[in-house]
Chain A
């Protein structure tokens, strides 16, 4: 009888009952297999000892921490991490507009609370540093009026890049060289345009008379994304592209009037409000919220387009986002800033 494979001997060391009777009998009578089994056991013990780490966590404290995390809105880093680890990453729910990349990067609260700031055509993106406490203090739009989503994004998987392009009319970014540690084929996703109409309510928000009943139509998308996963779906890289947010008013209200009034109500610190006023002055710059506790931002250049690089303070995540010709593109993943920039600059 041939000798059992080392894998079988390895299992014999752990789960003897799982090995067939003939194999067990052979090993018991075979000096060579006994010697191999002894080596296998020693190495298993050695590796077990090398990997062993004392870890007796406080379960109650852990549960409180997790409960607190669920009570708070997702941060940008968390949103991306959740997407990274889902077995089949999907962007669903109200937190994700079809401008999926922007929403993903700015996080749920930022996306909802500051949609009014997108009441313009986006030509560039600029970071706005804001603390978590200030972000959480922002009321959402329902505090100022009524929001009705009139077109849903319908984000779904599609078979390939061609199908994503056909569904959205967007050229799907092609990654020419994957970073180290990322391999295989991506899952492609497509989403339709999302549209919401916001009607300002003077009873709730006060303000000048012309604001009462003023309507703004906010649009974003369509969008596409390619997501690379490893093994059981631990995504390492996301490349997304979407038609940048824009907005329209049918009431003739001057954007600056609405902006200044909402900023006065939001309770934002003066310096943050000043940043927003400055960025939105020409109606073409989309503020990208950077929570100081979680992310750092830095300017960069992607083949001539000004870009913003975001890096999580724990070093786990990096992303780069830029706008060209009214289309926002982002590269994000469990990578370094250099790696996402390399991918971004190499997109075909």
Chain B
């Protein structure tokens, strides 16, 4: 009995002991994967902070909000990384975050943005990606995709994933009160709805669908690593919904200063270069280094919804999606 208890207690002890010097970052799965920015960001920051950065990957961005709501004051996170501009108001209403005390003059964002708790670290326009070796009649607008196209799609669950939520807001921006009908039409083309971006994109690359919801910047990855231009983003005439990804520090953090310096590090020159070339998103720092392939990407019109509007309506819009897409 004693013998059995020991490793149990030991592991508890170790857990509580190591927490003292660790910076725990809740983020989304693709950020922490070996080809994502996580490992490099970790190495770079650990070299200057003399601390241990621990990334914990959830399904996707919206899960971060759900988690914070569930764990509240008991959360062990010091940083949440991967919420987006749409969720700012709702997250701040939980009253769990601390002010970062930074200014963003040197940043270049898709629209004017300022916040005292959230730090933007990259952004991107959502887009449907296709393989031009396989797909020819690419829709040129969201309406064409929804109403006329026969291509199959995979997208992410708006309840867990920020791209999925982006599509929900995109449809709302284009269709307004007729969104429910649009979702019903989309449902016919939907192969599957995944909890996060990683699964959706993997399934697409395996050939399970013609289109996948991702980012305008995604083709740059294939140009850089696979040396192919066959993957392209479909440009839609209504404009593309934009997402600014954010990080924030928690009030309950035992390492508030360390957390702040991590947020500062995120918009440093070195971190920004890593984010552009591993997270495959546009950097926010004005003269950040980007992969050469970024020059070949489409530059679409921007659509976005203020986060206060999202906060007011999100629950109801989610319900609408849930009922019409099922």
Q: Do A and B bind each other?
A: no
